[in-house]
Chains A and B, each alone.
Chain A
Amino acid sequence: MAQRGASAAREAMAVPGLTAADRAAVNPLDRGYALLGMVLIAPTVLIFCAVIVYPLVSAIYLSLFSIFTPTLSGSFVGFRNYAELANSPEFWRSLLNNLIWTVLTLTLQVVLGIAAALMLNQAMVFRSLARSLILFPYFVSTVVAVLVWRWLFNDLYGVLNHLMMWAGILDMPLDWLGAMPNAMVSVVLVGAWKYFPFVVIAVLARLQTIPETLYEAATIDGAGAWGRFTDVTLPQLRDVLVVVVLLRAIWDFKEFDLIYLLTGGGPIIGTQTLPLMVYKEAFGLNEMGRASAVAVAMMLVMLVFMLVYFRVLRARGEEPR
């Protein structure tokens, strides 16, 4: 109400003598800049259409056909692929696996990432060395990392079982990758290990910009170490965590190579997520149409979660700055 009053007042105070022609006048330079702007963004728009819009549209298009992958020929079936998916326990199981994997590994990544960032933000010996080393898992190629982990997890000669038995934690060797729920736990752990450095980088950068006086004020106001963390650090990290969680959630949800290489989706379909199901339908079962339908369904699920995510953020009463 007050704002409307203020803008009305501003209208009334418009410069006397200003004519409609003055307002409508367009600077020829502005027109030139606008043209230049369009020329400059044109390549981006074209590439975006070629690699994003075209595959998206063609996936939706393909999902309406029953297609044999090697020949890419087949017949129009309408929404039958979707109907079959809705009745397929494998699809729902894969979706559930996908959610379990994403939520668990993302939670671990964030917790580990914040903890490591807090540690690296402290004054300590070999800090810059530690800061570089902690990024190591993120830089290692997934294939290499997974091969090493498979060797560590191996139920016959893996060092993990050996160490845990030696320490008395296990009596018998554990089948880390070939039985449930061990396989899911293993996949989640390796995912967390591989991707938590991303959280560390983002959080550490933000930590370094938190003013020291806020901690001092909180100390004098009577906050202990935990109080300073929850009342100063976490709120300051909020904005960066919103972005980190969003990005990591998208990337984890569509993660393929790490899971495929580690368990191949097994045992049976115990760790099969939707991206693995797309791959299996398209190239294992040669059902390109159904694979496309799974991919489109995956996109819809992600869209729904993103909408919910932003809705929840907005409901917290915080406009993103």
Chain B
Amino acid sequence: MDARRAEGEVRFEKVRKVFGTNLVVRELDLLIRGGEFLSLLGPSGCGKTTSLRMLAGLEFPTSGTISIGGRVVNEVAPGARDVAMVFQSYALYPHMTVAENIAYPLKKRGVPRAEREERVKRAAESLHLTELLPRKPRQLSGGQQQRVALGRALVRDPRVFLLDEPLSNLDAKLRAHMRAELIELHQRVGRTFVYVTHDQLEAMTMSDRIAVMHEGVLQQVGTPSEVYNRPANLFVAGFIGAPTMNLLRGRAENGAFAHPAVRVGLSGHVTPDLVLGLRPEDIVVGEGPFESRIRLVEPHGHEQIAQLDIAGGDVLTIRADAALPLAAGETLRWGVRAARLHLFDAASGLRLDATCTAPQALAA
């Protein structure tokens, strides 16, 4: 098993990619451990798909090296890299049956017919495709086509699976189902999965680690809990989490974070200009030292999301139990769970190591 893991290790070293005058990926340094499920997460145009395509060999890095299993693959043809890719559009060969589609990579590698049929059969069984083997792709639903695309990757037992937004074309219910199937598949095959998505929910639920990218720069790599609970900078803080984290700009004054609407004690070294990050669920509703007017309330069934107009012209999003009687226009008391708040340097956007101690009453 260890050898299997080692051959699936992927390393990006100082990888740059320039399209014309457009810098798409700048200095990407990333180690993907063998056998791990790593998501490349970011908004569109952040360079995540380009990075994946460079790993597949469909794009060439402008500079830097990419290695798989310790071997530099910059000069290796896509078909010889021992990677398989699942595309957003599935890219099934329309004139071939499901069985022929799945068998295609084996055929191109000269696997004898008997072995080919055996392996196609096994892959089809594990993805519940056996009945669909004689059909053509156009006779399948989106979810079934997706599974065939996975089967075409799975049948080769490649070192690395590359998945480029494979669930985006599915409806919400099927997507949740396929997430579970993918997690299971990853555990079963024990291979490296590199998964590109702009959907943080997919990244959070499936990944061992998440690499957040923005404008061609890697922002943070960490487990879903690290990325969520200790965002490395303002971009990650604002990108991960729904509803998004509230970010309030304020100043360090007398050992406290000061904002016209919020005051929180600080311990540790801070810079003079600060941004305080408060996740909606870390705001205590109904009690606390602060008071604001409710702007609007969105009922979500099991909970409600409300926006407060707070002093200083900011808007604060909170989450409250569905049973609480909230109504727009009313005044609400609120507080914060100080230990769960995040502090960033306003100038650099980087996370500060300081912690918040306790909310303080505002000077009148």
Contacts from A to B (Cβ < 8 Å): 211, 213-214, 216-224, 227, 231-232, 235-236, 238
Tell whether, in the assembled complex, residue A231 and residue B109 are in contact, meaning their CB atoms are under 8 Å apart. no
Q: Which of B64-72, B89-97, B117-125 contacts A (4 or more CB under 8 A)?
A: B89-97
Q: In the assembled complex, how far is the CB of residue B210 from the closest CB belonging to chain A, in whole angstroms?
A: 24
State whether B58 touches A216 (Cβ < 8 A): yes
CB nearest neighbor in B for A238: B95
Q: Which 3 A-B pairs have the closest CB atoms?
A: A222-B108, A222-B79, A235-B95
- Provide a sorted-by-A list of 21 A–B residue pairs whose CB atoms are within 8 angstroms: A213-B87, A213-B91, A216-B85, A216-B91, A217-B91, A219-B57, A219-B77, A219-B79, A220-B56, A220-B57, A220-B58, A220-B79, A221-B104, A221-B105, A222-B80, A222-B108, A222-B109, A227-B108, A231-B104, A235-B93, A235-B96
* Shortest CB distance A305–B (Å): 25
Question: A231 and B79: CB pair below 8 A?
Answer: no
B93 and A232: CB pair below 8 A? yes
A221→B152 contact, CB < 8 A: yes
Instruction: Kindly state whether residue B43 has any CB partner on chain A within 8 Å.
Output: no
Query: B276 within 8 Å of A by Cβ?
Result: no
Q: Are A231 and B93 in contact (CB under 8 A)?
A: yes
Tell me whether B87 and A217 are in contact (CB under 8 A): yes
Q: With both chains docked as a complex, state the minimum distance between the C-beta of A254 and any C-beta of chain B, in angstroms.
A: 32
**B84 interface residue (CB < 8 Å to A):** yes
What chain A residues lie within 8 Å of B57 (beta carbons)?
A: 219-220
Complex alpha-carbon distance, A24 and B332, angstroms? 65
Rounded to whole angstroms, the CA-CA distance of A166 and B250 in the bound complex is 88
Q: Which residue of B lies closest to A215 (CB)?
A: B91
Taking A217-B93, A221-B79 as known contacts, 12 extra A-B pairs with beta carbons closer than 8 A to each other, sorted by chain A number, are A211-B91, A214-B91, A214-B93, A216-B56, A216-B78, A216-B91, A218-B104, A219-B57, A220-B83, A222-B80, A222-B109, A238-B95
State how many angstroms separate the Cβ of A240 from the closest Cβ of chain B: 13
Q: Which residues of A contact B94 (CB under 8 A)?
A: 235-236
Complex Cα spacing A214 to B108, Å: 15
Q: Do B79 and A213 touch across chains, with their CB atoms under 8 A apart?
A: no
Which A residues are in CB contact (< 8 Å) with B89?
211, 213
Complex Cα–Cα for A232 and B94 (A) = 9
Contacts of B91 in A (CB 8 A): 211, 213-214, 216-217
Cβ B87 vs Cβ A216 within 8 A: yes
Task: Give the docked Cα–Cα distance between A218 and B105 (Å).
Answer: 8
- Which residues in B have their C-beta under 8 angstroms from that of A231? 93, 104
Contact of A220 among B85, B93, B95, B96 (CB under 8 A): B85
A222 CA / B108 CA spacing, docked (Å)? 6
Q: Which residues of A contact B104 (CB under 8 A)?
A: 218, 221, 231
Minimal Cβ-Cβ distance residue in A for B87: A213
Task: Find the B residue at minimum CB distance from A217.
Answer: B91
Chain A, Cβ-Cβ closest to B110: A222
Cα A216 to Cα B85 with chains together (Å): 9
Q: How far is the CB of A235 from chain B (nearest CB, A)?
A: 4
Determine the chain B residues whose CB is within 8 A of the CB of A219 once the complex forms.
57-58, 77-79
Q: Which residue of A lies closest to B58 (CB)?
A: A216
CA distance A211 to B88 in the complex (A): 12
Which chain B residues border A218 with CB–CB below 8 Å?
93, 104
Question: A238 CA to B104 CA in the complex, in Å?
Answer: 19
Pairwise interchain contact A221-B58, C-beta atoms closer than 8 A: no
CB contacts (< 8 Å) of A232 on chain B: these are 93
A220–B109 CB distance below 8 A:
no
Q: Taking the nearest CB of chain A, how far is it from the CB of B140, in angstroms?
A: 16
B54 CB → nearest A CB, Å: 13
Q: Which residues of chain B are near A223, meaning CB under 8 Å? A: 79, 108
CB pair A222 B95 closer than 8 Å? no
Task: Give B86's nearest chain A residue, CB to CB.
Answer: A217
CB distance from B191 to the nearest CB of A (A): 15
State A216–B56 Cα separation when bound (angstroms): 10
Q: Give Cα distance in the complex from A211 to B92, angstroms.
A: 11
Assembled-state Cα–Cα distance A219/B95 (Å): 17
The contact string, 1 if C-beta is below 8 Å from chain A, for chain B 101-138, is: 00011001100000000000000000000000000000
With A and B bound together, what is the CA distance between A217 and B163 in angstroms?
12
Most buried by B among A213, A221, A232, A238: A221
Given the interface pairs A223-B79, A235-B93, A235-B95, the reply to whether A217 lies near B109 with Cβ below 8 Å is no
Complex CA gap A224/B77 in Å reads: 10
Q: Which residue of A lies closest to B136 (CB)?
A: A318
Residues of the B chain whose Cβ atoms lie less than 8 Å from the Cβ of A222: 79-80, 105, 108-109
Rounded to whole angstroms, the CA-CA distance of A235 and B97 in the bound complex is 13
Give the chain A neighbours of B152 by CB distance below 8 A. Answer: 217, 221
Within the complex, what minimum Cβ distance (angstroms) separates A69 from chain B?
53
Give the distance to chain A from B91, nearest Cβ to Cβ, in Å.
Answer: 4
Tell me the complex Cα distance, A227–B105, Å: 11
**In the bound complex, what is the Cα–Cα distance between A232 and B83 (angstroms)?**
20
Residues of chain A within 8 A of B95, CB atoms compared: 235-236, 238
B85 / chain A contacts, CB cutoff of 8 Å: 216-217, 220
In the bound complex, what is the Cα–Cα distance between A219 and B87 (angstroms)? 13
On chain A, the residues within 8 Å of B84 by CB distance are 220-221
In angstroms, how far is the closest chain B Cβ from the Cβ of A4?
Answer: 19
Residues in A neighbouring B87, C-beta threshold 8 A? 213, 216-217
Cα–Cα, bound, A238→B152 (Å): 24
- Least CB distance, B85 to chain A, in whole angstroms: 5
Task: With both chains docked as a complex, state the minimum distance between the C-beta of B86 and any C-beta of chain A, in angstroms.
Answer: 9
* A229 → chain B closest CB, angstroms: 13
Chain B residues in 8 Å Cβ range of A217: 85, 87, 91, 93, 152
For the complex, give the distance between the alpha carbons of A235 and B95 in Å: 7
- A223 and B85 CA atoms in complex are apart in Å by 14
